[in-house]
Amino acid sequence: MYIQNSWYAAGMSHEIGSKPVARTILEQPVVLYRMQSGTVAALEDRCCHRGLPLQHGVVTGELLECGYHGLAFDGSGRCVRIPGQEKIPAKAVIRSYPVVEQDDLIWIWMGDPALADAAKIIQYPWHRDPAWAYKGKCTTINAHYQLLYDNLMDLSHVGYVHKNTIGGEPEAHSNAQMKTTRTADGVHVIRWLLDSTPPPTYSAMFDFKGRVDRWIEIEFSPGAVRLYTGAKDAGAGAYEGNRDGGLGLRTLHAITPSTPDSTYYFWSIARNVKLDNQDIHEKVFRQIEATFHEDKLILESQHQRLKQRPDPLVDIAADAGAVQARRVIAERIKEEAVVRSPSIR
């Protein structure tokens, strides 16, 4: 069960060139490619002639040519060339999907095309703001997408899953002040770890005097979680509202359901310090990447167990944000089911 009428990340700009890229999104096979004009298109990854995935084809100008018998399709999915014959049957057309490229991300709309409104795509200015440097990649987690949201909305896991990397003191996370709020399209959580030890990753990027006040803001809307995190010397006013002169990080977590058992995870890390230090750049990226591997292990093991044993679970206090996020998704899916129901129409 997925929200259909929503923008999902289908790729990062650097991934999609003239060589077709295959992705399965909401269980639908999609092929993404960049036409000669620079525009990215997304088509059903299945030629209408013999069913070959078009991922094996080649982009020629604005067309995608099938790798089996050479049928060529334009960006709208219409077949415009069949080798060896003049007439093109009206049925020779495949599905195309609305695509928008924004903030170095390729956003796709899998639902009713009439409802695709580019203005509803989340903003992620840190991919284009020159005051920030970022690096990102796409990874696949073999787990249900809901588990990825749970993971991100309850960061008390950081002290356990990531204790050797970004964890710091488990108690600091568990005892952090936490406030959860519903927003227009999602959920906002803020956690403060006051007077705590900065984790190794932080210290590598910034020269703190000693202990720090650390903040973690979680901005959830269906399709993505944006984390605004950072730290400043303890007592230096961050908690009161002035984060200037501290370390700031932005991590994007765009979550795109692939199948019931797998999810694309597009993530990036952006920082506002030492922008030109390429060493720090790579080092921070590798460190964050290591934490994703830690999460991947946990999420995939959890997914397998819950598939095998879907018995009820016990919520704890730290789940407040995750529970809200699940509610937002459930409501959106329910709304769509009502709209689609023939008895209503």
Q: Which residues bind its own copies (CB under 8 A)?
A: 29, 45-46, 48-53, 55-56, 65-71, 82-85, 89, 91-92, 150, 154, 156-157, 159-161, 170-171, 173-176, 297-298, 301-302, 305-306, 308-309, 313-318
What is the nearest approach in angstroms of its own copies to the Cβ of residue 258?
13
Strands 105-109 and 99-102, how do they pair? antiparallel
Q: What are phi and psi of 203, to 5 degrees?
A: -60, -30
Q: Which residues fall within 8 angstroms of residue 68, CB to CB, at 6 or more apart?
A: 47, 49, 50, 52, 56
In the complex with its own copies, which residue's Cβ is closer, 133 or 298? Answer: 298
In the complex with its own copies, which residue's Cβ is closer, 58 or 333? Answer: 58
| Cα–Cα nearest to 139, from 270, 12, 20 | 12
Q: Reduced to 3 states, what is the DSSP secondary structure of residue 88?
A: coil
In the complex with its own copies, which residue's Cβ is closer, 154 or 233? Answer: 154
- Rounded distance between C-alpha atoms, residue 179 and residue 191, angstroms: 7
Helix H, strand E, coil C: the string for 156-174 is: HHHHHHCCCCCCCCHHHHH
- DSSP for 222-250 reads TTEEEEEEEEEETTSSTTTT--TTSEEEE
In the complex with its own copies, which residue's Cβ is closer, 55 or 268? Answer: 55
In the complex with its own copies, which residue's Cβ is closer, 12 or 71? Answer: 71
Residue with tokens 């936490």: 178
How many residues can be counted in the chain?
345
For helices 145-153 and 320-340, give the axis angle rounded to 10 degrees: 140
- Rounded distance between C-alpha atoms, residue 139 and residue 285, angstroms: 14
In the complex with its own copies, which residue's Cβ is closer, 170 or 260? Answer: 170
- Rounded distance between C-alpha atoms, residue 58 and residue 68, angstroms: 11
What is the nearest approach in angstroms of its own copies to the Cβ of residue 317?
4
CA distances from 150 to 5, 156, 257, 295 (A): 21, 11, 14, 12
- Rounded distance between C-alpha atoms, residue 164 and residue 79, angstroms: 54
In the complex with its own copies, which residue's Cβ is closer, 178 or 328? Answer: 178
What is the nearest approach in angstroms of its own copies to the Cβ of residue 194?
15
Q: Provide the 8-state DSSP code for 85.
A: B
What is the nearest approach in angstroms of its own copies to the Cβ of residue 21?
15
In the complex with its own copies, which residue's Cβ is closer, 140 or 174? Answer: 174
Q: What are phi and psi of 267, to 5 degrees?
A: -135, 155
What is the nearest approach in angstroms of its own copies to the Cβ of residue 57?
9
Q: What are phi and psi of 115, to 5 degrees?
A: -95, 0
- Rounded distance between C-alpha atoms, residue 294 and residue 164, angstroms: 10
What is the nearest approach in angstroms of its own copies to the Cβ of residue 72?
11
In the complex with its own copies, which residue's Cβ is closer, 50 or 340? Answer: 50
**Token digits for 12?**
């990062």
